[in-house]
Amino acid sequence: MKNLMIILIASAALLATACGEDPTNEQNNRNNGGDTSTADTVDQNNDNNDNNGNDTGDAFTGDDTTTGDTATGDDTATGDDAGDDAIDDAGDATNDDADGDASEDASPSPPKVTSTFPRDTATKISLNVSVTVRFSELMEEATLNDVSFVLMDGLTLVESTVTYAGKMATLVPDMLLTANTTYTATVSTDATTMAGLALENAKTWSFKTIEAPGSGQQAVDLGSAVDYVILSKSGISTTGTTAIVGDIGVSPAAEPAITGFDLVSPWSTFATSALIEGKVWSVSFDEPTPTNLGVAVLDMEHAYDDAAGRTLPDSTELGDGDINGMTLTPGLHKWGTGVSFANGVTLDGGANDVFIFQIAQNLTVGNGAMVTLAGNVKAENVFWQVAGEVTLGTTADFKGILLSKTLIAMETGAKLLGRAYAQTAVTLDANAVTQP
């Protein structure tokens, strides 16, 4: 009898398996709220058979268990199918959402205007100014022209020439602007990226020219960059015993790009150094320093654009770039080459006179060479705009504001009365740098 019972139990297990049910899933089905499994039905049939006095064997012959679909596992299967369908639907929905999000994320953003020169509401702007606008994306050059980028004097169009390079468009008026006049510049949504995306919004801004034309150039507006004697985008380094009077700053490069100064720590919004009579500012420091530096660097770039954009020069190609021994008068001096002097150059003028030098390549100052300020010329009114690198030779004595598109390198013992603004790095070697 005992052997018979073992056989019957084994047969029951085989029957449950054949019906598509695993007896070990019994509790899972109950916990999940599923329909009764085959094993449940078999147990109930056994109880009923026992109560009815039927022998146990009938419960496993299928006589009673085949009376309902439950015994075949159809209902359970249906529940599983429904669950699978729900999971599939949820998965499909999730995938659809993911695909949609990915598609949206992949969609390029429309270009924006990131900065303008002159700035909105700026005053005392030079009459020979070039108007510039910078974009967040590379633009299609053909869409930036005298229709999409215009300058207005009230309702009168100012005839101009528009050029585009990099991410910047430049509008150069065909004639000098009128003194004490408000002008309005507009870039329309006709300007597009190379992919055909239109400018997110049209940009309109205004500025006012100087009150009287005077007899010479207007000083380049340094904006908040004037708070720094040295300002660089990628780093400031020194060797030897350098002495700096004024603040220095680096952005967007972080604090490790300021080397050789043995910065005193801990720092918060600024640091100090025994080599600097002033403060050291880095985007690594606490706010508002990173924000202020970002604005200052933008103003440095605007100053470069202003100096580079001045038109109607008073001289061009003096000395074919070799100005050694010359005495220069105030005004705008332009070269399509590099500029150098081995021994010295003299700048002669009054206290309010402005000198702007537009140099298309490098500026190279010889060892021991000197810039002499004659009359009452002030270093803060002398602007050297250099598209290439600046090299001040050993023990050179230089004056003026250096606006370099790339590197400013001061060799051993060179001195600077002015400011060094570099859109890459500034390297020093036992130098004296003093703000004017």
**Calpha distance 220→412 (Å, rounded):** 29
| Phi, psi for residue 62 in degrees, rounded to 5 | 90, 0
Q: Is residue 18 over pLDDT 90?
A: no
**Calpha distance 121→369 (Å, rounded):** 41
Is 45 within 8 Å of 36 (Cβ atoms)? Answer: no
pLDDT in tens, 334-374: 999 999 999 999 999 999 999 999 999 999 999 999 999 99
- Rounded to an integer, the average pLDDT of 397-409 is 98
Q: Which residue has the higher pLDDT, 63 or 169?
A: 169
- Rounded to an integer, the average pLDDT of 270-292 is 96
What pLDDT is attached to residue 166?
A: 86
What pLDDT is attached to residue 105?
A: 53
DSSP states of 155-176 as a string?
A: TEE--EEEEEETTEEEEEESSP
User: Mean pLDDT over all residues of the chain?
Assistant: 82
Q: How is residue 141 written in tokens?
A: 């050059």
DSSP states of 34-91 as a string?
A: PPPPHHHHHHHHHHHHHHTT--GGGGGTTTTGGGSHHHHTHHHHHHHHHHHHHHHHHH
CA dihedral 399, 401, 407, 409 (to 10 degrees): 20
Task: Tell me the CATH architecture of domain 113-209.
Answer: Sandwich (2.60)
pLDDT in tens, 231-278: 999 999 999 899 999 999 999 999 999 999 999 978 899 999 999 999
Is 101 within 8 Å of 48 (Cβ atoms)? Answer: no
Is 309 within 8 Å of 290 (Cβ atoms)? Answer: no
Is 268 within 8 Å of 288 (Cβ atoms)? Answer: no
DSSP state of 108: P
- Rounded to an integer, the average pLDDT of 176-193 is 95
Q: Is residue 77 over pLDDT 50?
A: no
Residue 204's Cβ-count burial label (10 Å; 0-12, 13-18, 19+) is: middle
Share of the chain above pLDDT 70, in %: 75
Q: Is residue 425 over pLDDT 50?
A: yes
Is 332 within 8 Å of 312 (Cβ atoms)? Answer: yes
Q: Is residue 390 over pLDDT 90?
A: yes
Span between the terminal Cα atoms of the chain, in Å: 114
Residue 22 confidence class, pLDDT cut points 50, 70, 90: very low
What pLDDT is attached to residue 373?
A: 98
- Rounded to an integer, the average pLDDT of 104-118 is 83
Share of the chain above pLDDT 90, in %: 69
What pLDDT is attached to residue 211?
A: 83
13's enclosing H/E stretch is helix 2-18
What pLDDT is attached to residue 94?
A: 39
What pLDDT is attached to residue 436?
A: 95
**Calpha distance 15→17 (Å, rounded):** 5
What pLDDT is attached to residue 265?
A: 79
Beta-carbon contacts of residue 261 (< 8 Å; ≥ 6 apart): 236, 238, 273, 275, 276, 280
Beta-carbon contacts of residue 68 (< 8 Å; ≥ 6 apart): 41
CA dihedral 303, 306, 308, 312 (to 10 degrees): -150
Q: How is residue 47 written in tokens?
A: 């109880």
Q: Is residue 2 over pLDDT 90?
A: no
- Rounded to an integer, the average pLDDT of 219-228 is 95
Residue 132 confidence class, pLDDT cut points 50, 70, 90: very high
**Calpha distance 242→119 (Å, rounded):** 36
Cα distances (Å, whole numbers) of residue 369 to 299, 324, 426: 30, 9, 20
293: left (phi over 0), alpha (psi -120 to 50) or beta: alpha
Residue 106 confidence class, pLDDT cut points 50, 70, 90: low
Residue 124 confidence class, pLDDT cut points 50, 70, 90: confident
Residue 97 confidence class, pLDDT cut points 50, 70, 90: very low
- Rounded to an integer, the average pLDDT of 286-305 is 96
Residue 377 confidence class, pLDDT cut points 50, 70, 90: very high
- Rounded to an integer, the average pLDDT of 1-5 is 44
| Phi, psi for residue 286 in degrees, rounded to 5 | -70, 155
Domain spans in the chain, listed from the N-terminal domain onward: 2-106, 113-209, 223-434
**Calpha distance 168→291 (Å, rounded):** 22
**Calpha distance 274→220 (Å, rounded):** 32
What pLDDT is attached to residue 215?
A: 58
Q: Is residue 213 over pLDDT 50?
A: yes
| Phi, psi for residue 22 in degrees, rounded to 5 | -105, 120
Q: Is residue 208 over pLDDT 90?
A: yes
| Spatial CA neighbour of 181 closest among 221, 129, 222, 216 | 129
